[in-house]
Structure 1
Amino acid sequence: MATLLHLDSSVFPGSASASRTVTDTFRKAWEEQHPEGTVIYRDLAANPVPHLDGAGASAAFADPATHTPEQAAAYAERIKLVEELEQADAVLIGAPMYNFTIPSTLKAWLDQVIIMGRTAGETSTVKGTPVTVVASRGGSYAPGTPREGFEYVQNLIGALLSDMLGMDVDFIVPELTLAHSNPAMAELIPLAEASREKALNDAASKAKTLVQRVAAA
């Protein structure tokens, strides 16, 4: 039975969040195709993980036998998150763009699970694991747009998960999500609706395809 690790990080609940709406569609399609599977869910906005501190960071480079009580406690929390990631056959991440980059809660999770010599590096324990990232954003940062140079969500996540951890990263990008609420973007509403519809369709189809891929592995 396959395990899906599902992370949301939007500060907005339910349908008020574009990324949550799309990750919910993905997850439902996954569960319909694989009802006997397991879903591990973390809402990083409602229940944030601790930001990486000196004790947790230094513990990763020290012999566990030499850990101080503070290092041992911090590292144990890191390993708990790492083991969730290692046990996952597939990962789903909601990553809305806030101020050109990812929410700090998602960055905190990433900092906790990236451990050189374990999840990161040539012998990564999560190498090849498929990750679907829903990278929603209020405007458009696609190639050729005026704000292309401000796209720090896909670039950052790709560098961390693909380059450092060796994971197989795929993006779904619902954009122009502020068109309905920002009068200056009113003329972009049709494009926003088309982007949303495509994202929902992609979520459903990618989930089904991924279930088949995981089952065949």
Structure 2
Amino acid sequence: MPLFRLDASIMPATSQSRALADLVESEWSAENPGAAVVRRDIGSEPLSATIWREAVTGGFAAEADRSPAQRTALARAAELADELIEADAVLLAIPLYNWGVPAHVKTWYDLTYTDPRIAGGALNDKPVVLASVLGGNYNPGTPKDGWDHATPWLTRVFRDVWGADLRVVQRQFTLVGVDPAMDRFADQAAEIKAAAEQLAIEHGRAIATQVQSLAA
């Protein structure tokens, strides 16, 4: 029962999205001892910014007419798609950067989506957990309400385009304790952190149980 895990933080040593995903993975592994975890860290090893273009143009060309770059891009797209298709569950650790989806995450998504198996809905009903972190507070009524342009897009494409059975755990205020201007929110941030960590544990247990029931 392999779990595929994607990490996207550019600062893995201090990554809060990684820490949140660790809780999901830990619970998954506790429920599935010995199960493999396949990892891809696109924050530390991002894909080329031009590889999606090569895959798209290569897809419109006959095999014999494809350039070496196009063949490489299509092979990488198939590799990325295989990681998702072959997994029993998926864990995505994606932070909010500059109010949007990190560029390297968008490249990973776009390239993977060029594989016809993914575009055809290969992830239908597969359990997926999105672990998302935001530096500030983006809840309704706050000054940054509506500034989170990543979570709605990620939710839309994974759930509605790829057809995943998606669960989301999100932790806000991760810059409290880092940015002195936000220290006054320490108590609220601690409550948010505790609630997010508990939900991450519950999601890890839930997807493990779901996969076990499907395999039974």
Letter in 2 for 1:143: P
Instruction: Please name the residue that 1:95 is paired with.
Output: 94
Asked whether the 8 Å contact 1:135–1:153 carries over to 2, the reply is no
Structure 1 unaligned spans of 5+: none
Asked whether the 8 Å contact 2:55–2:114 carries over to 1, the reply is no
TM alignment of 1:124-139, pairs within 5 A: 124-139=121-136
- In the alignment, which of 15, 18, 21 is matched to residue 17 of structure 1? 15
Going from structure 1 to structure 2, the CA distance change for 1:60 and 1:126 (only over 3 Å counts) comes to farther
TM-score scaled by structure 2? 0.91
CA distance in structure 2 between the partners assigned to 1:113 and 1:96 by the alignment: 19
Instruction: Please name the residue that 1:50 is paired with.
Output: 48
Instruction: Please name the residue that 2:36 is paired with.
Output: 38
Letter in 2 for 1:177: T
TM alignment of 1:58-97, pairs within 5 A: 58-64=57-63, 66-97=65-96
Query: How big is the shift at 1:118?
Result: 2.5
CA distance in structure 1 between the partners assigned to 2:11 and 2:61 by the alignment: 39
Letter in 2 for 1:3: P
Correspondence 1:145 to 2:142? yes
Letter in 2 for 1:18: Q
Correspondence 1:114 to 2:107? no
- 1:48-75: per-residue Cα shift (whole Å, max 9, x none)? 2223343211223444454333322210
Letter in 2 for 1:200: E
Going from structure 1 to structure 2, the CA distance change for 1:126 and 1:60 (only over 3 Å counts) comes to farther
- 1:36-58: per-residue Cα shift (whole Å, max 9, x none)? 31110111121222233432112
Matched-pair identity in % = 29
Q: Cα RMSD between the aligned structures?
A: 1.7
Correspondence 1:179 to 2:176? yes
Query: How big is the shift at 1:17?
Result: 1.5
Letter in 1 for 2:103: S
Going from structure 1 to structure 2, the CA distance change for 1:94 and 1:40 (only over 3 Å counts) comes to same
- 1:91-143: per-residue Cα shift (whole Å, max 9, x none)? 111111110012222122111111374212xx311111121111101111123
CA distance in structure 1 between the partners assigned to 2:31 and 2:74 by the alignment: 36
Correspondence 1:165 to 2:165? no
Q: How many residues align?
A: 213
Query: How big is the shift at 1:162?
Result: 1.7
Q: In structure 1, the residue corresponding to 2:163 is in which secondary structure? A: coil
- 4+ aligned runs moved over 4 Å, structure 1: none
Instruction: Please name the residue that 1:188 is paired with.
Output: 185
Query: How big is the shift at 1:145?
Result: 2.4
